Structure 1
């Protein structure tokens, strides 16, 4: 089964987006001319795939050439999180902001948010962060109640929950654990709070087989609320969101055309892992055509028990550029993170990748100086990864500095020095 599942439904929107990019984007005017791409001649999947991939390097190196509107039309400037390098600038006009609001309205409705709901946003609306603004715009369009607490400050989060009685939280999964720890330490009856559901962002929550990963399971064991997984990026301006059956993250076919491609840029079959390549639809300021996200996802196909006819994918199993070849074994950082998170007595860690003298990959995991179960942890990792990795005792202060760099908007558990 090919993963071009939505092409009949959104073929008109896709063609319209291609023509818009050709007419208005300096980058794509040149790209289509150089590659002799005739938009009107694209009548099949094979012809569409002749359009070259747009890379993150293209977006970094030719950033201004992607702007397809007059500068005085731009309303909001944001940047990407910079996970794989320097943050990339991105801009939105009024139409893009309306589209962003519609994306989040649809996504929140998918997880059960209604006009009568109250949603607490534990995300920042500042620091050039698109997601926090998107959640606010989407909830406003839906008409739901919003509590804007921002990031951090567990005490404020619980005071707000007690004061406003929200039913939903939007939060990074690891922050939910901090909220639970704070509640336990301060005698807060968190299990009987108003919160029934958490919409989880920024970190993977599930394994490719739909089961909760170690982080998700740890949260669920401590706090029996419903957990929804989401996946998005600044460049896409679109979210992939779980439905109530929790069997993959659904695309929004009217807002994005998606492909999952193998290393030869051919569509993968259902059940296989490939790189997510996207063409956001109905965008104006910075249209992207066949943009390679760098995220490796599992493709599930279209059929779902919820009867929505849209592509389903996993949250990223890893970054294409972060793939590690360790003694003949292919690994992604998230596999290591899941195993470390599952080891209950290990409270903090960071992972470092580097090249050894033979220019092959090496992995080093920094663990606290006072961690006592180093042999058990080594056995646990070797059983899960099928290969031995190095552990190094480090001060908690040093690990915290690496995990929470000042310039980052989210915890950084993996550092790539290759």
Structure 2
């Protein structure tokens, strides 16, 4: 049962008419209030009145991450700072941080989207929610906090890190719900096993994970090791944080909150829209945000959109789990390689754990991909011969499915740094001129 069936179960034609009206309002809003967009729309020769149907969104110009950096900190803010009640930001590890200002109404809308996320995951007011997302400028911690609070849950704001304490509090407070990144969930599961704590015997039954791409194989690994239902939370700082999309009990795709976000998929090369069901780059336009609306924001995430009748009753468009990111894509021997593809193949190998990283090196004139992965204890106990067998098995499995040759290294236990937030999956050791 949806949290807000007025919108979540609205007939598709009504949703799309609502989106058109909100899109027209948002275009008028940014033209009046944001010089950047006023100029972009003038150059594109587009007016709000040109938007008469959903397909007309393709007439609007794109917004890219560099546009946000170039206008740092508040060049894209559509309201004076006296109307801004909170500011979040990205880490800024690859340049200036991305700022996210919110009006009071923006926070209320974000909270509504997060409540939907929790409710669809099976969370109810009587649940204890352990929130192990980082709190602070990062949108995750406070986004989940306000959603669970609004739903009426008991919230334990542990934030990320101090893994042993996370496990102790999980035992002492009886949390039924865990919120964190999927890679940190695995870190918690692994540490619990080392401490001889049986997580499956605890009240924990639901995990809501996001902030990084994760495969179906990873979801199944988490569910098996923790004895929980692992649910999705999708979002971006640029769009206001988590709550953009979520999966329901069917776990058959991520529902997008279409009354707040207009989603489309384009060919990442031509940037032309592709039909529903075809894979491409995900684009979002925010429909009700007022402090910093995004017009056709290029997420760089690769996925597909589709509509289907869902057992949960929601009519919102669905998207697949993120296949990869255009800026994470590696080209090895002429083949496009996404880290998520390697992850899926590694999870097929029963002798290894989900702890891995990909190292890209230069070998002569060619790029070489080294897959570093930790084996299970019994592999190391069996000696070097077994280790070599598993490495050969990995290389053959990847070559057979992707047609590329990689070097597989079974590294020592705990060689891969454990994540308390987003996992570092790719290390590029090539000289800068070759990247």
SS at match of 2:427: strand
Compute the displacement of 1:101 (Å). 1.2
Identify which range, 346-355 or 129-138, moves more after superposition. 346-355
User: Paired residues, what number?
Assistant: 403
Tell me the alpha carbon deviations over residues 315-367 of structure 1, each in whole angstroms, 9 at most, x when there is no partner. Answer: 21111122233223222121112323443444543213466765x65423345
Distance in 2 of aligned mates of 1:222 and 1:112: 20
Residue among 405, 410, 415 paired with 2:422: 410
Q: How does 1:157-196 map to 2 (within 5 A)?
A: 157-196=166-205
SS at match of 2:423: coil
| CA 1:85–1:375: 2 relative to 1, 3 Å | farther
Q: Is the 8 A contact 1:368 1:393 kept in 2?
A: yes
What's the TM-score once normalised by structure 1's chain length?
0.87
Q: Does 1:146 align with 2:155?
A: yes
Residue among 351, 355, 358 paired with 1:351: 358
Compute the displacement of 1:410 (Å). 1.7
Q: Does 1:260 align with 2:270?
A: no
Q: Is the 8 A contact 2:209 2:232 kept in 1?
A: yes
Residue among 372, 390, 401 paired with 1:384: 401
Tell me the alpha carbon deviations over residues 235-287 of structure 1, each in whole angstroms, 9 at most, x when there is no partner. Answer: 12242100111110001111111111123333333432111100112112211
Aligned CA-pair RMSD: 2.8
Distance in 1 of aligned mates of 2:213 and 2:281: 16
Q: How does 1:387-398 map to 2 (within 5 A)?
A: 387-391=404-408
Residue among 247, 250, 262 paired with 2:252: 247
SS at match of 2:246: strand
Q: Is the 8 A contact 1:204 1:229 kept in 2?
A: no
Identify which range, 342-351 or 220-229, moves more after superposition. 342-351
Q: Is the 8 A contact 2:244 2:261 kept in 1?
A: no
SS at match of 1:141: helix
Distance in 1 of aligned mates of 2:361 and 2:14: 39
Q: Does 1:36 align with 2:45?
A: yes
Compute the displacement of 1:81 (Å). 4.6
Which residue number corresponds to residue 299 of structure 2?
Answer: 293
Q: Does 1:230 align with 2:233?
A: yes
Compute the displacement of 1:25 (Å). 1.4
SS at match of 1:169: strand
Identify which range, 334-343 or 19-28, moves more after superposition. 334-343
SS at match of 2:239: coil
Distance in 2 of aligned mates of 1:342 and 1:174: 18
